[in-house]
Each structure stands twice: as structure tokens, then as C-alpha cells.
A and B are shown apart, each in its own frame.
Chain A
Amino acid sequence: MLGRAANGVYWMARYLERAENTARLIDVGFHLALTGSSKDSQHDEWRSVLTTAGLIEDYEALYSDFSGPQVFNYILRDPENPGSVLKMLEYARTNARVVRTSITNAVWEATNEGWMTLKDMLARPVRETNLGEVLTAIRRTGTLVRGALEGTMLRNEVYNFARIGTFIERADNTARILDVKYYVLLPSNAWVGSNLDNQQWDTLLRSVAGNRAFSWLNAGSMDPREIARFLILDGQFPRSLVFCAEKIRSNLAGLAKEYGGETSAHELLRDKLSRLHQIDVEEIFDQGLHEFLQDFITRTNEVGAVIAADYRFTE
């Protein structure tokens, strides 16, 4: 497989994952704005969405208004925003075009159709009345491409690189979402049972599509440590950090098997991410949740960079 093609499937998967996670962030922001009391608290929520998406500085350089439609249009489709969801889908699709010979028709068509649909939908400003429809279409694109990968691709190097892209992006996104809101989980702020905190915790879980799963596992009760444990260390939850790390590991193992040997990426992964399996949530809080997450994000990015170098993504 060409190094350039490995780079292409890896980034195709990363951009699709990022688009989907961004859509979920907007969904949560919108949900909060609907239930929010004052205008100020609504604006705070939208500001927090921009922070989580890593767009706050760019946004503030252009706008001072934090109303919902202004913010979600910026994130979704503003030509001034080089990291808009529309751009992400365009990059995903461009990468898919580059690697057309490596992916199946089903994967290509799902990616291409998703891009065509969203390009049409995002040709005009999005209103609150059709935001839900747009967000659903973005999530559906991610789901369809994943389904096509799962159902039609050979389990070979191409598949492994796509999956590594998906889980590096997802690990990074979950960690960032958690990091922006980490303070709501800290003991000093945890007024068990207060309505405000319950809502904050619910928001956090929703942002990673984990609210239902968490309630189910915990019979409806909320507890900040349990939430942190769930999002970081639960091996069953497909967006937890440990789940993503495990998937990166197993796909790298697939590459080692196929290529008949490991690279420095395998060693680095063992070195950097294996501690997730040994650590418990108490230690994480002792170390400092924020520090732990920052460290995790750095390590994940390092692993991504070493994979790109070891497998000759670029010259």
C-alpha cells in the first residue's frame, strides 16, 4: 500500500469522526440553549462549545455576538472558518478521492453522498428550525461510512489505517470535551444532588453520546467520579479513552501481523497508553484530572505522528 494512500484513509476517517463529534457538540449546545434560563447563560454555553471545538480564538477575532445561530453557522459553514464542518467533510471526501483505489465503492459512495447532501444543506444559512436535520445528516454520514467500512472492506492494512484514524481522533475529542468541563467533576464543585450539577454532568455525557449508556449502567444515579471513570476507563463504552486506546493498539497489532514486524509506534503506544489499564480513577484525581487529560492528549498526538512517520505517510 502506498504511504500516501495510508495517509489518505487515515485522514478521511479522522475528518469524518471530527465532523460527527462537532455535530454532537452543537446538538448539546442547542439543547442547553433551549432549556437554559437567561440569555447570558445561553451565550456562555455557546462560548463553551466554541472552546471545546478549539475555535474560540478565531471566532472572537471576527465576532462578538454569541447567539446560537451566529455560533452554529460559524462552526458548520462559515467560509471564514477553515475548520468548519463543511470543510471537514470536503477534506474527508478529497482524501477519499485520493484513495479511491484503496477503498470499496460503498465507502466512497457513502463519503461522496454525505458530502453532496451536506454541501446542499449548508449552501444557505442554517436556522434553528432546520438545525436538527443538518446535525442528523452529519451524524448519518459518519454512521454510513463506518457501516460501509465494516461491511465491505477487507480486514487489511487499509482498514487498519482507517480505524487508527477514527480512534486517534475520537480519543482526542473525548479527552478535549472532558478537559473543557473537567471542573464540574471536581470534588470541591460536586454538590451531590444539586440540579445545576446534574444538568452539567448530563451535558458532559451527552457530548460524547454517553448519557443513555451511563444511566443504564448506573441505574439513573449521577456521581462525578463514576462519570469520570466511565468516560476514561470503561472498556465497554466505545468513546472512552481506554476503549479508543485499545482499538488503536489492536489495529496497530493488525499492521504488525500483516507487515511481519512492529515499528517504533508499537513501542511508543505500549509506553504511553498502557498505563490507562493500570490506573484507577482515584489515582487520576490524585494526579489532577486536568493534568491527566492534557498528558493524554499530548501522548495521543505523539502516537499519531510516529505512525505517520513509521508508515511513510509523507516523504
Chain B
Amino acid sequence: MSTTNAPKFDEMLNEDGTVRSAYADFRNWYDAQDKSWLKRQDGEAERFFRRIGITFNVYGESDAEERLIPFDMIPRIITAKEWRKLTKGIEQRVRAINAFLQDLYHRQEIIRSGRLPISALRNNEAFLSQMIGFTPPGGVYTHIVGIDLVRTGPDEFMVLEDNARTPSGVSYMLENRETMMAMFPDLFTQIPVRPVSDYPRRLARSLRACAPAAYNAAGGKRPVVAVLTPGIYNSAYFEHAFLADQMGAELVEGSDLRIMNGRVAMRTTTGYKAIDVIYRRVDDDYLDPLTFNADSVLGVAGIMDVYRSGGVTIANAPGTGIADDKAIYSYMPEIVEFYTGEKPILNNVPTWRCSEEDSLAYVLDNLKDLVVKEVHGSGGYGMLIGPTSSKKELAAFEQKLRAKPENYIAQPTLSLSTVPIFTREGLAPRHVDLRPFVLVSPDGIDITPGGLTRVALKKGSLVVNSSQGGGTKDSWVLED
């Protein structure tokens, strides 16, 4: 098990300072460039992003300022061989997640078999009773999945988190590549990088393959797809508009929609028109004020009834959050094995469930070296990062932990890999993670070669979140 003291793995440089094969061609190119020109290009990138309007809104900021996620222009490079292994592991995991959801909302064999305790479901808000006994169109629960990976060694990628609700960030994967191609076209003529630009087309195809029964009965020319957004003030609005645009789908808000004749219909200039597939970027809670949060104005009253009677497809299906819940995460190795009959190709980060007595004892003894997370929380609230916490903070957290151990899991602080970023002083190593995007349809699982690399721009920092000063990079998968 790696800790902060373990040797760091740098993706570009060997320990002796020589360049690894993944970066060899890039490094040759880089060394030949005029550094003052690169600095100017670095400044250009920000202007480029502002002009095309890739910004995100930060919640809770009074002036609703639109911010840019910092972009670093040194690509993160993955070899064809590394990618092959990754895709096998991701595909296995995503297959297992869908089988798991199907089982949880039907016979619950995994609980009957004793591999998953019923307590993992009980009182878990991510488990939606409205989905029990219902199979979504095409049998697909998670049409879009983002698997967050971290790397700790030459041959070791681990899954940090599965995003099975409404993973975001894919527009950055696409725009980062566009930006790189606009700034450094010669790089792409010299180095064979696998393209990512057809993601929206693949997404549209994947969504259309899951049309509901009502569409099939009516026999239209092609299923009508719409992206449901909370609106322009949502932090990911740019991405919603971007994807709708690239897919040729309508971008709708709750106020555009109503239920008519057992279908979800949108208000067009010539009247209401039925939608077959809704790619919703609205959380479960806000989807249907009749079923869930009654105060929601972001969703459509009655959509769940239409859904259950085959009038519309909702992607991702409601209730998929149970599969990426932190309490479930620790069981993922068992889940993968249970549904695929295979050993997991990608490892989990080792996780202690504090609900178990032995684990709790270990966690309490080693609190200062561990990261402790709340199981039903998301986004870093109620989280403890042992190595950077004061004695007082540790003591306060210990109290919480002892009071409700079942609310927490703990993980070692990993030695995340580093990749180079561009600084005024030259290349400098920073910690990264990787989120590849996975599409699921009845036709199979489709993984776009690349993903979103988030990078901690501060020296030594392990926090890659954009809300806390993290940036993004173009992520390359090399051709064979």
C-alpha cells in the first residue's frame, strides 16, 4: 500500500531523469520550441477559451462571475498498450455496474447471496424505490459513465470513484483537444494521437439506440433527443449547450416541457412536440416535483409516470447514484466478481469501512495518515485529509467518527503520479487524475480514447478539483 512517503511516479521521466517512451516524441518537439513563443501561446489559450465562452459559474459567488478552468498546454500522454489494459478494466467495471443496478432494482441476488449487506441499501437516499421492478429501455441504466482513475506506478491505475449519475467534463476533453490542435498543429502531424472529436456523434447514436417503447410503436424517422439543462446559471451550462449543439439535439429547460398524451413534449414555435430520449443534466431530486423534491422547477411534473409507462427514455436512469455511492464503492471488487465471474482488472483504492470494528480500530490508530470520507456526502464536505490536518482537527474528527462510525470510510493517502505542466521556469511535475468517458447502449460499451485529465496546479497539492484551483490538460492516447 502506498503512502505519501512512497516514491513518486512521474509519467514523463524515469527515476534517472531519462524520458519514458510515451513522452519521447513530445519531448523532442518541446525541446526544439522557442520558449518565449510558448509563453505567448500560453497567454493566447486563455483568450481563446473566453472568446468561445467555455466558462463555469461558481456557486455561492455573489457576482456570479464566469470563471475559466485553467488550461495547461502540456499534454498528458498514455501509450496504446496502457490504454488497452485500461479499456478492458473500464469495460468490465461498467458492465458490472449495469448488472448490479438491474439486480438491485429487481431480485437483489447479491444481497441474498450475502456478498452485499442489506445495510448498504437501507436508508440510502441514492436507492430509489420508484425504480423497483422497472427495466429502463434497452436495459441500460448508465448511458454515460465517468470513471475517475489515479495512477500510482508504471502498471498501476486504480479507480478512485465511479460517476454513474451525470458525469460532467466531457466538453473539456473535446475543447482542450481543439485548442491544442489550433495552437500546435505541427504536433499532431508529427505524433499519431487518437482522435476524440466524434464523441458527440457516438453519444447521439448511443442515446438513440435506447428509444422508448412509445417511439418504437409510433415508428418515427429517428428518435428525438433533447438535453435537459437547469439553465444558463448552472455551472456546467456551457457543456450542456455544447453537447446539444454537437449532437443536433434540442437544449431544453423544465419550463419548455409538459406531459401530453402520455409523452414528454417540448414547446416549439409551432406547438408541442414529443421527445423520445432525454439526456438530463438535472439531478434525480429535481427531475419530477410530483415524485421527488416538490419545490423543483427544473424538472417536469409527471415525467416519472411517463417513464415507467414507456413514453420516454431518461439518461442516465434515475436511481443510478446507488452504484457510485461511497458506501457501495468499497464493495466494488466483490460486485465486479459477482456479475462478471472475473477478477477485477482495475483495483479499487484500499478502503476501510468504519462500520466494521477491526477497520474502525485501524482507522482511529492511523488517522493522521488517512483520508476519511462521509459515505452519503459528495464533493469533499465532511472529509478529513489526515496528513494536512492539525491535532485539533484530528481530535474533532475522531469524536465524529466514534459517534457514527457507519457514516465513514477511510483510504490511504495515495502517491498520485505526476505529469509535467508548463510554468514560466519550464516544465514542472504536478499530480493528476484521469476521467475517461464511457457510453453504454444495447449495442455495447464504447470508450472514447482519452478523457479529462485534471491537474493540481499548486506544487505538491493533491487536490485536482476545479473549484479548488485545479486545471485541465489535453489527454492523449497514442496510436499503436
Residue interface bits A96-121, CB-to-B below 8 A is 1, else 0:
01101100010011001100100000
> Which of A1-9, A71-79, A179-187, A244-252 sits within the interface?
A1-9
- On whether A4 and B255 interact (CB within 8 A), knowing A97-B237, A98-B232, the answer reads yes
Taking the closest CB of chain A, its distance from the CB of B120, in whole angstroms, is 40
In the complex, B85 has a CB within 8 A of chain A = no
Q: 10 tightest A-B contacts by CB?
A: A311-B269, A100-B241, A101-B245, A101-B251, A101-B244, A3-B267, A6-B269, A1-B269, A97-B232, A259-B270
Q: A109–B54 Cα gap in the complex (Å)?
A: 11
Q: In the complex, what residues of A have CB within 8 A of residue B252's CB?
A: 2
In the complex, B139 has a CB within 8 A of chain A = no
In the complex, B125 has a CB within 8 A of chain A = no
Q: A108–B267 Cα gap in the complex (Å)?
A: 23
Determine whether the beta carbon of A97 is less than 8 Å from that of B53: yes
Taking the closest CB of chain B, its distance from the CB of A41, in whole angstroms, is 41
Residue interface bits B244-277, CB-to-A below 8 A is 1, else 0:
1100011111011000000000111111000000
Q: A6–B269 Cα gap in the complex (Å)?
A: 7
In the complex, A27 has a CB within 8 A of chain B = no
Q: A2–B266 Cα gap in the complex (Å)?
A: 7
Complex partner residue of A2 from B242, B245, B250, CB under 8 angstroms? B250
Given A116-B50, A259-B269, 10 other A-B contacts at CB below 8 A? A1-B269, A2-B252, A2-B267, A2-B269, A4-B256, A97-B232, A101-B249, A101-B250, A105-B52, A109-B52
Q: A113–B250 Cα gap in the complex (Å)?
A: 25
Taking the closest CB of chain A, its distance from the CB of B246, in whole angstroms, is 9
Q: In the complex, what residues of B have CB within 8 A of residue A259's CB?
A: 269-270
Residue interface bits A132-172, CB-to-B below 8 A is 1, else 0:
00000000000000000000000001000100000000000
In the complex, A94 has a CB within 8 A of chain B = yes
In the complex, A315 has a CB within 8 A of chain B = yes
Q: In the complex, what residues of A have CB within 8 A of residue B232's CB?
A: 94, 97-98
In the complex, B112 has a CB within 8 A of chain A = no
In the complex, B424 has a CB within 8 A of chain A = no
Determine whether the beta carbon of B250 is less than 8 Å from that of A157: no
In the complex, B391 has a CB within 8 A of chain A = no
In the complex, B459 has a CB within 8 A of chain A = no
- On whether A315 and B267 interact (CB within 8 A), knowing A97-B237, A100-B241, A101-B244, the answer reads yes
Taking the closest CB of chain B, its distance from the CB of A285, in whole angstroms, is 40
Nearest A residue to B272 via CB reads A312
Chain A 270-304 interface residues, beta-carbon cutoff 8 Å to B: none
Q: In the complex, what residues of B have CB within 8 A of residue A161's CB?
A: 269
Q: In the complex, what residues of A have CB within 8 A of residue B52's CB?
A: 105, 108-109, 112
Main secondary structure of the interface of B (DSSP, over half): mixed
14 CB < 8 A contacts A-B: A2-B266, A2-B268, A4-B253, A4-B256, A97-B232, A100-B53, A100-B245, A101-B249, A109-B53, A113-B51, A116-B50, A116-B51, A312-B269, A312-B271
Taking the closest CB of chain A, its distance from the CB of B244, in whole angstroms, is 5
Q: In the complex, what residues of B have CB within 8 A of residue A116's CB?
A: 50-51
- Contact size class for A? 20 to 34
Nearest A residue to B267 via CB reads A3
Which has the most chain B C-beta neighbours within 10 Å: A2, A94, A112, A312? A2
Q: A108–B241 Cα gap in the complex (Å)?
A: 12
A-B contact count (CB 8 A): 60
Main secondary structure of the interface of A (DSSP, over half): helix
Q: A4–B237 Cα gap in the complex (Å)?
A: 16
Taking the closest CB of chain A, its distance from the CB of B269, in whole angstroms, is 4
Q: In the complex, what residues of A have CB within 8 A of residue B270's CB?
A: 259, 311
Chain A 229-275 interface residues, beta-carbon cutoff 8 Å to B: 255, 259
Taking the closest CB of chain B, its distance from the CB of A152, in whole angstroms, is 14
Q: A131–B339 Cα gap in the complex (Å)?
A: 70
Determine whether the beta carbon of A4 is less than 8 Å from that of B267: yes
Nearest B residue to A3 via CB reads B267
User: Which B residues have a C-beta under 8 Å from some C-beta of A?
Assistant: 50-53, 232, 237, 241-242, 244-245, 249-253, 255-256, 266-271
Taking the closest CB of chain A, its distance from the CB of B200, in whole angstroms, is 12
Determine whether the beta carbon of B269 is less than 8 Å from that of A3: yes
Q: A1–B249 Cα gap in the complex (Å)?
A: 11
Q: A113–B52 Cα gap in the complex (Å)?
A: 9
Q: A98–B244 Cα gap in the complex (Å)?
A: 12
Q: In the complex, what residues of B have CB within 8 A of residue A109's CB?
A: 51-53
Q: A312–B266 Cα gap in the complex (Å)?
A: 11
Q: In the complex, what residues of B have CB within 8 A of residue A255's CB?
A: 269
Q: A161–B232 Cα gap in the complex (Å)?
A: 21
Taking the closest CB of chain B, its distance from the CB of A86, in whole angstroms, is 14
Taking the closest CB of chain B, its distance from the CB of A43, in whole angstroms, is 35
Q: A182–B249 Cα gap in the complex (Å)?
A: 50
Taking the closest CB of chain A, its distance from the CB of B289, in whole angstroms, is 16
Q: In the complex, what residues of B have CB within 8 A of residue A1's CB?
A: 268-269
Q: In the complex, what residues of B have CB within 8 A of residue A157's CB?
A: 269
Taking the closest CB of chain B, its distance from the CB of A109, in whole angstroms, is 6
Q: In the complex, what residues of B have CB within 8 A of residue A4's CB?
A: 253, 255-256, 267
- On whether A312 and B267 interact (CB within 8 A), knowing A3-B256, A94-B232, A97-B237, the answer reads yes
Taking the closest CB of chain A, its distance from the CB of B255, in whole angstroms, is 7
Q: In the complex, what residues of A have CB within 8 A of residue B266's CB?
A: 2
Q: In the complex, what residues of A have CB within 8 A of residue B250's CB?
A: 2, 101
Determine whether the beta carbon of B241 is less than 8 Å from that of A2: no
Q: A161–B267 Cα gap in the complex (Å)?
A: 16
Residue interface bits A191-224, CB-to-B below 8 A is 1, else 0:
0000000000000000000000000000000000
Taking the closest CB of chain B, its distance from the CB of A275, in whole angstroms, is 28
Q: A2–B268 Cα gap in the complex (Å)?
A: 4
Residue interface bits A51-79, CB-to-B below 8 A is 1, else 0:
00000000000000000000000000000
- On whether A315 and B255 interact (CB within 8 A), knowing A101-B241, A112-B51, the answer reads yes
Taking the closest CB of chain A, its distance from the CB of B95, in whole angstroms, is 33
Q: In the complex, what residues of B have CB within 8 A of residue A2's CB?
A: 250, 252, 256, 266-269
Taking the closest CB of chain A, its distance from the CB of B249, in whole angstroms, is 8
Determine whether the beta carbon of B256 is less than 8 Å from that of A108: no
Determine whether the beta carbon of A112 is less than 8 Å from that of B245: no
Q: In the complex, what residues of A have CB within 8 A of residue B255's CB?
A: 4, 315
Q: A259–B270 Cα gap in the complex (Å)?
A: 7
Q: A315–B297 Cα gap in the complex (Å)?
A: 14
Nearest A residue to B242 via CB reads A100
Taking the closest CB of chain B, its distance from the CB of A187, in whole angstroms, is 47
Q: A312–B245 Cα gap in the complex (Å)?
A: 22
Q: A311–B255 Cα gap in the complex (Å)?
A: 16
Determine whether the beta carbon of B244 is less than 8 Å from that of A108: no
- On whether A112 and B53 interact (CB within 8 A), knowing A2-B256, A100-B241, A101-B244, the answer reads yes
